[in-house]
Amino acid sequence: MAKLNRYQRNMAPEGITLEEQEKLITSKVLVMGAGGLGSGVIMNLAALGVGQIKIIDGDILEESNFNRQIIHKYKNLGRAKVISAKDWIQEFNPDIKVELDKIKLNEINYYNVIQGYDIIVDCFDSNEAKYMLNDIAIRHNKILIHGGTKGFNGQLTTIIPSQTGCLSCIIPRAKTFKNDVFASFSPVVNTIAALQAHETFKVITGKGELLLNRLIVFDGTKGVFKTLTFSKNPTCTTCSNNNFTLEFHQNIEE
Ligand SMILES: [Zn+2]
């Protein structure tokens, strides 16, 4: 069992109970992407005490990543991001079990990746990958914590299959995707990432109200957050006509 002293301030007044902390310690979270959003999500999950983190990313570290991907040390330039992220976790919180796969997720290789994980955090950086992950999460009844940024702006929501609308309900999936590269700033990316980690924390502990059918939009030019509500689109090609029963498995299987 992890050392509970580490989490004293999680369990102080206005915090969570020992039982809720133990839920974090026995939980497993799948983080899709170890780039900008992935850095912030992984760091915050590790600090909260999530007991097992699985990281998926096929990329190696490039010089241009370091303006925002703050989990990675410069000495790891040229190494796989998943290895670099694991190094950081193990130095910061050795009690955390880390799984990793250095792969670019696709519709063929995803099945084994998601097995045993009920919470997926979307830290991908392309719309194409985000919609693919949305489809996979709906199809396999996984809770998806969506986040994304573009320049000064960001957004996030929590998608629970059969309970909420999905990414395609908010913005219908495009037939083709452009591979445009937009600006990405560390404070914006890490703000959204921190909020994704906070949603994950609430899912696991059951504390607070989740962002269900609510999209938080951060406008970093004005410094404001807006909450947009949406609903499940009955004609959504991704999430309509599914009758899943949500099964949420918390415990790490040894
Ligand atoms: Zn939908």
User: If you write DSSP's letter for every residue of 110-147 in order, what string do you get?
Assistant: HHHHHTT--EEEE--SSHHHHHHHHHHHHHTT-EEEEE
**pLDDT tens digit sequence for 147-176:** 999 999 999 999 999 999 999 999 988 888
The pLDDT assigned to 247 comes to: 42
Distance, in Å, from the CA atom of 254 to the CA atom of 57, rounded to the nearest integer, reads 24
Cα 135 to averaged position of ligand 1 atoms, centre (Å): 9
Cα 195 to averaged position of ligand 1 atoms, centre (Å): 22
The pLDDT assigned to 173 comes to: 86
Cα 28 to averaged position of ligand 1 atoms, centre (Å): 25
CA distances from 186 to 37, 114, 136, 153, 193 (A): 9, 28, 28, 12, 10
Distance, in Å, from the CA atom of 4 to the CA atom of 122, rounded to the nearest integer, reads 29
Find the range with the poorest average confidence among 85-99, 129-143, 211-225, 236-250: 236-250
The pLDDT assigned to 251 comes to: 47
Average pLDDT over every residue of 38-46: 98
pTM passes above 0.85: yes
The residues pairing with 149 across neighbouring beta strands, listed in sequence order, are 154
The residues pairing with 202 across neighbouring beta strands, listed in sequence order, are none
Domains with residue ranges and CATH for the chain: 18-229 (3.40.50.720)
Residue 178 — pLDDT band, cuts 50, 70, 90?
Answer: confident
Round the average pLDDT of the chain to a whole number and report it.
Answer: 93
Distance, in Å, from the CA atom of 183 to the CA atom of 131, rounded to the nearest integer, reads 20
Cα 31 to averaged position of ligand 1 atoms, centre (Å): 21
Rounded to 5 degrees, φ, ψ at 99 are -115, 150
The pLDDT assigned to 2 comes to: 55
Cα 165 to averaged position of ligand 1 atoms, centre (Å): 5
